[in-house]
Structures are given as structure tokens and as C-alpha cells.
Structure 1
Amino acid sequence: MNKSILQSIMPVLVLIQLASASAFAKPLPVIYGNDDRKDLADLGDSPLRTLADSTVALFKDRDVSSGFLGGGMKLRGGSFQKQKNVCSFEPFADQPAGAFCSGTLIAKNLVLTAGHCITTEAQCRSTQLVFGFDVAEKDVYPLRMNRSQVYRCSRIIARHEDDHTRRDFAVIELDRDVMDHAPVKIAAPADANPAVGSNVVMIGHPYGLPTKVDAGGAVRSAEDPNYFVATTDSYSGSSGSGVFDPQTHEIVGILVSGEEEDFIFDSLNHCFVSKRCSVDACGGEKVSRVSFVPAMIRKFARY
């Protein structure tokens, strides 16, 4: 074909290919509106850094190894891009992704997470919890951790998982008290009912990535006594993430479920991209209320 003719029709061919790709794509979103997830390095001196400091990443035994000089622990996990084949332009594509769930410190010895994250005592004993799995400095990724920041799940103190009511939580005891991270406060029942339209903050480890802070979520519905629905930017691995009142900094819930699929395939680039939705569409993410937890853990918690 004549080169000049080929150059003239190339834009048309590209447009046809784009139209074809969008016609067959069925985006089921997990990003609502703008992607509001931020690394700690992007927060400046925000008080949300303190809440993030109480966030913990749950790793399987096989993904944490010891024996390094100075007592360090190595976290296993390839880049987000390699593990999921996400496109190189996806946020955080080059960051390590190894955690399987998220949690929050609620007492010196207790962590709150989702019930479906820790289901048995055997799984508890084979789970390690890592503080400081975050990007506190630009492009400095947490591949090795100080042993003092790695804890083991000792036992399950309380647990419930009900797909119908969405009451889904677990309180697990650590193998030792945490002395260098402050527990968060759980909102009292009277203060744990965020109004529809109010802002909430979610902090956790989407797809096992280093800590991400999403301060752009809002409550969409709140009539159910066991959970509310919010527009948090969530993925697999976000389960168990703490959801906070941005004014009081108290935890009002934990993320337990959302859209079934996190990504759609970009046929032009042969890789996956995050599903997206406008803030007023799609199903939202379900957040289990946790104001009842303090009464259940009173005799176990150390403050």
C-alpha cells in the first residue's frame, strides 16, 4: 500500500479499534470518580499519617522470610504489574504487592480485620502481620522490614462472618504487645453512624500493595444496622481496611466486600486496567460496622 495512503487512514483504523474495544468492555468499577489513593509520601504532615501508622498488612508465612543481617525480614511479592499484568500506566504498577488482607491496631495486643481474612486458628498461626509496609519516601519500597515490625497471629479472640447481614469481622491477638504504634479508637455506637453523603477515609493494602490512604470516599447508604455502603476505591487485599471518620479519626467500620471483579482487560495494550465508575453509579463498597467490638474484647485488650 502507498505509504502516504497508509498514513492518511491510520487515525481512522485506530478509532475503529478503540470503538471495538469499548463496545465489548463491561467495566465493573472499583475506582469511584477520581482515584484518591495516596502513599504516605504524598500526605505531607497530614494527621492521617498517624492513622496509617496503626495499619497492618497481613502476610502468609511463606511470603515472609528471615535470616538477613541485622535481623531483617524479607517480604516476598513481585511488582503489581508482574503479578496482575496491569498496564504500566496503572497507579503503583511498579510497587511490591504481597499482603492478602489489611487490619488495624485497636489495642496494644489486638488487631481488627475482616472475618473472611482469618477463618481458622490454623490460618491465624500461619499469618504474620507487618507494620510499616508503606511508601513513606518517594520511590523507596518496603522490601525488607525490621524484625520488630513483624508480628504473628497468636489466636482469634472474636470472629463473625455472615454474607447475608454483612457482619464480617475478626479480632486477633498478636504474639506480643505493640509498643511503637498507637491503637486507634473505635467509635461509640452513637458516633458510628456516618450520614449519607458524609466523607470517610479508608486505609489499607489494596491488592496487597503498601499502605494506601483514600480520603475521597463518601457514604452512599446507611440504613442497614450491620453495614453501610461507601464509594471507597477498593480492591482485593483491601478487605479488613479501617474506615474512619475524618473529623474524629475514630474507626467506624472495616471494608468487607465490593465489586466481584477489580480489573478489565485493555485489548489495545494487552494488559489490565482498573474498573472505574462515576461517584453516583454502581453498587458501592460494603463497610461492616464495628461499634459493638469494644464490649466483646474488654477482658482481652491491653491499652
Structure 2
Amino acid sequence: MTITSAVAPSPTTQDRRPRRGRQDRSSQQRREAIALVFPSLVPIVIFSVLPLLQGVWYAFTDATLRRNDTADFVGVDNFTRLAGDSFFWSSFRIGLIWAVSVTLLQLVASLGLALLLNSDLRFRSLTRLLALIPWAMPPVVVAIMWTMIYTPNGGPLNAALGAVGLPSGINWLGDFNTALPAVIVVGVWIGMPQTTVTLLAGLQQIPTELSEAAAVDGASAWQRFRNVTLPSLRPIVVSITSLNFIWNFNSFGLVYVMTEGGPGGKTMLPMLFTYLEAFKNRNIGYAAAMGVVLVIVVVLILAGFLRTQFRKETA
């Protein structure tokens, strides 16, 4: 009797061809992904990365806007000068007050408005549309409109105050004590719509069963809001607060049109101070150093804030 034995092919020989095919497909997918992403990366590199690198380079030079001027490397002289510039650090303090105040007030006001729009409100669609009006208006138009509202003689705000017997004739944008609070109110008003829309979308993603179960257990409206709604909105609140802080700290046009940093520098935000240094005093190198410092400080503040929030979530 003849016995034949079959020798199975080596596993390496069996898997070599399929594995090579998977590698080829993976390489092709990477090439296709690069080909699709590359067109969108080109404008980012040209209009964002290259100007950023150029700005960092200017921070170490004495570049100006004067004709036929040459930018010479001066090392850290601009940063040394900036460290002793009390006007810049005063504007930085005002910028922090502005950014923190506007961001927090936007969050509180937008959350209240989002809760209202998420309820069974009559004419809810019309109300949502009206809530977006500040977002649809250009910042320059908003600044001009609110400047007219704040007009000391004949402005609607002072007229309304006088009609109810309150002090009127206040120069809201010209008084040292009221200028910054006045522009903060405008900053909150113009930034509310985008925060409201974001929070409203988050509220609509919360299952209604959670609130209903809490209500069945005897939880009050405040307890349901604190224990159900807020924890569910926490990731959205952290994200939108971080973005709003960056936008508000870097804001420029609104305050420039309304006050130009006055009176007496009481509304001189750091970005406005940097703009004036660059295009009024024509010190591009020194202004670039200000921009580098502002970017570093904002990144550090946001990193600390996000680290604290993530630590609370993991605790």
C-alpha cells in the first residue's frame, strides 16, 4: 500500500500575497488622502503659516513701514523693551478684563436664551430668527448703531433713563468709569447668537427621558438643570468658552470703531494697541514682538483652563 503525504504550504507563503495586497491598498489610500487634502493645505500655508513665521521673524528685527527700510536683526531687544512697557501691560490687563467678562456674560446670557428657545415657546421659529440678527450684522454696523444708542445728548438710552426718572445725559463712551462696561455690553450682545445656537444644539441632543425620570423622582426644575442639563452640556460649554475667549481677546474692529481705545486708554485692548504701534507708529518689529507675546500668553491660559476642565472630567 502506498502512503502519500501532503505537505501544507508555509503560512508565510500563504499570507505573503494578501498582506502585500493590503499594504498596496493602504499606500494607495494614503496617496489619495494626500491628494485630496493638499489643495486645502496650500492656502493655509500661504495665508496663515507663512505670515505667522514672517511675523515671528519680524519680532527679532527693527523692521518699520518706512520706505526703502531694511530690517536688521536685533535679537531680543524688542522683547526687552516690551517687558518694561507699562502701556502695553496696561492694555493686556484691560484685554483680560474684556475677554473674561464678555466670555462669561455671553455664556450665562446665551444659556438662558437657549433654554428659552428650547422650550415650547409661542412663535419659537420667529424668536430663533430674531436671536440671530446680531450675528448677521457686520461689526462696524453694530459699533455705529451702539455708538448712536450711547450718545449723551439725544441717545435712546439716556432718553429712556430720563423718562423713568433716572440720571441721564451720561457720556457712556467718554467717561472713564463707564466706557469699558459699555463696550463689554456690546461685545456680549454681538457674540450671543453663535453661543446660543451651539448651546441650543447641545440641549436638543439631551434625551428627554433623563429629565422626565428626574422629575418622577421628585427633582425640582433647578435640580434637573444642575444635575442633568449642565453635566450633559459640559463638553460643549468647555469648547465654546475656549473659542469665545480667543475671539474676544483678539477682537479689534468693534472697540476701534466705538472708542479707538479711549478715553485715556481705558478701552485700549492689546490687539488695538498692537495695531496702532504697527500702522500708526510704523514699528512693525516691535508690534510683531507684542503679537508673539500675546499668542504665547493666550495659549498658556487656555492650556491651563483646558487642563483643569479635563482633570475634573477624569476625577
Q: TM-score range by the shorter chain?
A: under 0.3
Larger Cα-atom Rg? 2
- Structure with greater proportional strand content: 1
TM-score by length of 1: 0.25
Indicate the structure with greater helix content: 2
Between the two structures, name the one with larger relative contact order (CA 8 Å, sep ≥ 6).
2
TM-score normalised by structure 2 residue count: 0.24
